[in-house]
Amino acid sequence: MSIKGKAYIAGVYEHPTRHAPDKSVAQLHAECARGALADAGLTKDDVDGYFCAGDAPGGPMAMADYMGLKVRHLDGTETGGCSYIIHLGHAAEAIAAGRCSVALITLAGKPRTGGAPARAAGPEIDFEAAYGATTHNIYAMCALRHMHEFGTTSEQLAWVKVAASHHAQYNPHAMLRDVVTVEDVINSPMIADP
């Protein structure tokens, strides 16, 4: 079955808040939902499919209830940072298959309001917790493995940050807006190796 031409992105919203000590993560999800629906010219009553991942307190059922959504389809696929990209595909598939007609995807967090939320326990926790795994050293291990297998250099990886710094120029809510060079990245202090 092809989903081409059967589903479209109609509304988007990026919450301007990065430091939100007075808001819950659930509240931020709801505010993002309201903004995206307003951008699409829709209301919560139009939504019959809801998608969120591990950043949503309680998962999709709890968040749908919190936001007062009446849905026929829920998806809480969790794949880390790319969950929401996968949700786009899942939403298009659900719409094409007739499981819902208006899908809402929310992502929210409070990256500048303190520590990261506790990670869900999984089979890897016994191997990671003992060493104090953080996002930094987990990504460092992945980068080192990629360098080992494919010969990737630090300079090549630095281009990711360089590109992100250029993209940030077009986002008024970006946290880090200074344009950097490969040399800036290479000469910056090491955070994790791994």
For 66-105, the DSSP string reads: HTT---SEEE---BTBTHHHHHHHHHHHHHHTTS-SSEEE
Q: Does the pLDDT at position 38 exceed 90?
A: yes
Tell me the per-residue pLDDT of 162-171, one tens digit each, with 9 for 90 and over.
999 999 999 8
Report long-range pairs for 115-119 (Cβ below 8 Å, ≥24 apart): 117/25, 117/55
Q: Retrieve residue 163's tokens.
A: 């590109």
3-state helix, strand, coil in the chain (%, to 5): 45, 5, 50
The secondary element (H helix, E strand) that includes residue 60 is: helix 59-66
8-state DSSP, 168:
G
Confidence at 174, pLDDT banded by 50, 70, 90 = confident
User: Residue 194's pLDDT is what?
Assistant: 59
Instruction: Report pLDDT for 124.
Output: 64
pLDDT band, very low/low/confident/very high, at 137 (cuts 50, 70, 90): confident
- Would you place residue 19 in the very low, low, confident or very high pLDDT band (cuts 50, 70, 90)? confident
> Which pLDDT score, from 0 to 100, does residue 115 have?
53
Q: What is the mean pLDDT of residues 171-188?
A: 92
Nearest to 175 by CA among 7, 17, 1: 17
Tell me how far CA of residue 148 lies from CA of 90, 154, 155, 174, in angstroms. Answer: 34, 12, 14, 32
pLDDT the model gives residue 110? 79
Q: What is the average per-residue pLDDT within 43-70?
A: 95
Average pLDDT over residues 175-187: 93
The model's pLDDT over 57-111, given as tens digits with 9 standing for 90+, comes to: 999 999 999 999 999 999 999 988 889 999 999 999 999 999 999 999 999 987 7
Q: What percent of the chain has pLDDT over 90?
A: 64
User: Of 102, 127, 89, 94, whose CA–CA distance to 43 is shortest?
Assistant: 102
Task: Inform me whether the pLDDT recorded for 179 exceeds 90.
Answer: yes
Let me know: does 107 contact 50? Beta carbons within 8 Å.
Answer: no
Predicted confidence at residue 185, as pLDDT, reads 95
